[in-house]
Structure formats: C-alpha cells, structure tokens
Amino acid sequence: MDTKPIVLIGPMGVGKSTIGKKLAKKLGLTFVDTDLMIVKEHGPIPEIFKDKGEAVFRNFEELALAEAVKFPQVIATGGGAVLRGKNQRAIENAIVIYLSTNGQHMKSRLANGNRPLLENGISDWKRIYEERKPLYERLCDFEIDCSAASLSKTITEICTKLEEL
C-alpha cells in the first residue's frame, strides 16, 4: 500500500468513525474525522445547521476535507461530503472506501443521535442513502459491506483489499 490518504465514505451511522479509528491503528496511521474537525473549530453540527444552515456546514466540511487529504492518514467523512464537486475532486488522489449497509441495524444506531437531516428518523435516512448511493459507488476504489460483519472482520477485509491495490 502506498502513502495516499484513505477516505471512508458512506451513509450516516454506518461506522466510518469507529472503523476509521481501528483501521488507522492497524495501519499505523493518524485518524481524523472531518465532522470532529468542524466541531472543534465551529461548534456542534446541529447548532451550525440551525444557526447558519446546511450550506455553511458544507463549506466548513469542504475546508476540513481539503486539509485532511493533504496527509497520508485515515479520514472519516460525513455522509454528505460526497455531494460537492470540490470534495469529489479532493478525494480523487486518495484511496476511497465506501462502507455500505443493508440498513438493518441503522434504526438502533441512529436512535440516540442528534442528526439534523434525520427529522423523520429512519425514513429520512433511507431516502438520503438511496439518493447518495450512486455517488458512493462511483467515487470509491472499493466497497465494504458493513451490514453483518464484526468490526474485526471488517478491518481485516479492508486491509486485504488495500494490499490488492
């Protein structure tokens, strides 16, 4: 594997941050989460959405991703990071892994979250995922189905795929 950044994309709640942390540790790389970068600099995401709107949040996200991809590290993105052309171009020189799911476990994963785009819960999640899925599929170097696999099996599968690149 080379020294490109590894970018995790996929729907809200699929486990990009959890998987990213474990993957970075296994590969001996730094882990960054673009959402946490935004929170650190601008405050809680729900407040950004409420006070400044989604467009301002997406601007912050664009800046965070542009900074993150400058380094060979594992990067967890927000589910909507793929929506902007500038972000799509930013990840062109990275290894992009799409973490997919059949959605079975999502209701429980999202239950305690404060996610601004999920006012109607799982029905919003399903709609948003279906809208974004073609982008995830087009932008990724490979897809890993996280529906039923354990965390350790998912990490092993990612590492195997990375070695094949």
**Token output for 38:** 């935004």
SS3 assignment, position 32: strand
**Token output for 67:** 């900074």
Domain range for 25: 6-164
Give me the number of domains the chain comprises.
Answer: 1
Q: Within a domain: residue 1?
A: no
Q: Within a domain: residue 155?
A: yes
Query: Do the Cβ atoms of 57 and 45 come closer than 8 Å?
Result: yes
Indicate whether 1 pLDDT > 60: no
> What is the enclosing helix (H) or strand (E) of 8?
strand 6-9
For range 133-155, the mean pLDDT = 94
5: left (phi over 0), alpha (psi -120 to 50) or beta: beta
Instruction: Please name the residue that has the structure tokens 């935004």.
Output: 38
Q: Within a domain: residue 114?
A: yes
Assign residue 89 the CATH number of its domain. Answer: 3.40.50.300
Q: Within a domain: residue 135?
A: yes
pLDDT, tens digit (0-9, with 9 covering 90-100), for 9-31 = 999 889 999 999 999 999 999 99
Rg of the chain over all Cα atoms, to the nearest angstrom: 15
pLDDT, tens digit (0-9, with 9 covering 90-100), for 72-123 = 999 999 999 999 999 999 999 999 999 999 877 766 656 555 665 556 667 8
The end-to-end CA distance of the chain, in Å, is: 7
Predicted TM-score of the model (pTM): 0.92
DSSP symbols for 81-130: GGGSHHHHHHTTTSEEEEEE--STTHHHHHTT---TT-TTTHHHHHHHHH
Pairing of strands 6-9, 74-76: parallel
Q: What is the pLDDT of residue 3?
A: 81
One-letter identity of residue 156: T
